[in-house]
Structure 1
């Protein structure tokens, strides 16, 4: 009889312990860090200047370089592009051509574009309107990114982090080091930020899972985050 009670007691205890352990198991974040490599398919299907410019930089002798230069120019010059909204400091068409063509990766190449009256593309703005302010921030961010990508100076003190969010939750990534940055990344989306090279701690919550990682940023990288199965 005592053996029966002992067996029952041990069974109940084991079941309770197992459930408690299962309940207390915390979710973990799956992280994948890679050096950013742009493919021809990405450059062809994307309308992001960053991706097209990155592909041109990494593939200077590509047979379709002229096509992608033209596409990059078209996107930047488009009337409906955020980079083309009226602002205070203009960047002329000729200056954009110089950025795209006058660098190491494009020497000896011509930019194929439609000849039309010169228009100004504007990157910097000061406005009392919150909407114009948001456009200005995006313009400055894109301008800084293009300048960084086409910069061949090895002493460049900046690098960028691209965060790919594979989870179903929005992320606010805090980047803490000698400077502090916040990066808003939509669910199932991505976002990037240009930062000073150095050592940083990246923290965020991926749904219910806490993420914290020490990174030494010395080059452009991409970090993919998701909740582990």
Structure 2
């Protein structure tokens, strides 16, 4: 399932994040690459240990916790601390797939990468190129969102970032381990959740049909989830 989530960061939060990361030290983006990705990746990013990156990542995590759409779509069990990358001057990231297991160096934190997320931090009118191209069952999907908006997609997908030929493309990226490992099951739960919410808005939370559908949702989640 590929889903765009609008305004994860509002204007004030976006300004705070940019104020932190813009003044930080950017390093070679292959600091977090696996062997395959290192062959295709040309960009810069902030070190995982950078204090500004950690503070900005905390702001992103706080924003995710306030997003009902993110919670409904991802059913998150763990979220990798957000990282930050930057492309300019023709830099790109060729076709690759993300590592299945992500580990934070120097800690015992690790997760299974079920979902990948890219949170755009630049106005798309300020740069050319930099599209995130995700290969899914319906063919290549091209994503270039407004600043503060995020795309969520299966980490198993082949994807790439096209060369940035003008301006700078800055983003936060991270991975999510879902309580529901199977993408198809997550998709069904998300669609059911959205249907329940729409029915509740029309009929009221106490309507018998809403109560029954809510029960179906939670019983399916109970069947499929690892808490």
TM tier, smaller: under 0.3
Larger RCO: 1 or 2 (CA < 8 Å, sep 6+): 2
TM-score (norm 1): 0.27
TM superposition score normalised by structure 2: 0.27
Query: Which protein has the larger Cα radius of gyration, Structure 1 or Structure 2?
Result: 1
